[in-house]
Structure 1
């Protein structure tokens, strides 16, 4: 009887993802969709802040009173880079099956939660968007950790 280099007839590339072979694709696709949605919001907000650092989208600099910023220039740059471009790259990594993208997505979700927590600590005003972003951050984190636990890498 011939021997094989792995203990099961399933090749190692498929063995990592438990369950149906398409399960990993569904996990990656769902997380990528959340990240792309987040990226779209952040790109719109970040570009608006950079184009009009005093009243982006009708907001006043009173919203950032108590923060280290006088205008929306740096918050816009941070929003664009960290919450706009980064999740778009993570989503591409997930869809291209780049190893480690699922775990990095979990870290990104934690970062989104931390981003909102810092806003709540530093800023007096609360925006309707903050709980939504917090919820998406939690959803990305939980989804990525569950996918990782199920063997999606």
Structure 2
């Protein structure tokens, strides 16, 4: 499950950044950005990114109606986090590319499960919604047209 991977990574990464004051990254990486230290980035990664990912995982496991919405929020949150992070440090690593990709995959899977886009296994507009989930009332899907 992509959300589980993201949740573990964000919670673990945020905690590690806080406990080590940046995991050995120089504070100069933050120069010119809004943060003077790794304290707030660590808190945001742990609480906001890790929290939304963890919430999405919990709701998915419980098969709650709001699970897909929260998974989309978590996926978009991951994408936004990576955009902001790469802008602040003015660089890109393979890890950032990986987490950007997992955020995009999360959002894409939600869209496939809701039948909004075609998936690799034929799910798409008009297809049945994934078992245990319901299509939002605001989604309009034409039958076979």
TM-score scaled to structure 2, two decimals? 0.75
Structure 2 unaligned runs (5+)? Answer: 116-127, 134-145
CA RMSD between the two structures: 1.5
Distance 2:14 2:73 in 1: 21
Larger radius of gyration: 1
Match of 1:120 among 76, 86, 91: 86
How big is the shift at 1:101? 0.8
Aligned 8 A contact 1:116 1:130 in 2: yes
1:13 aligns with none
Which residue of structure 2 lines up, in the alignment, with residue 14 of structure 1?
none
Q: Which has the higher contact order (CA 8 A, sep 6+)?
A: 1
Runs of 4+ in 1 over 6 A off after TM superposition: none
Q: Tell me which of 65, 74, 77 is aligned to 1:99.
A: 65
Structure with higher helix content: 1
Residue 139 of structure 2 aligns with which residue?
none
* Paired residues, number: 119
Find 2:27's aligned residue among 61, 84, 93.
61
TM-score by length of 1: 0.71
Distance 1:129 1:65 in 2: 21
Change (3 A) 1:76 1:125: same
Q: Paired residue for 2:76, among 107, 110, 126?
A: 110
Mind listing any 5+ residue stretches in structure 1 that lack a counterpart?
1-32
The Cα of 1:96 is off from its aligned counterpart by: 0.7
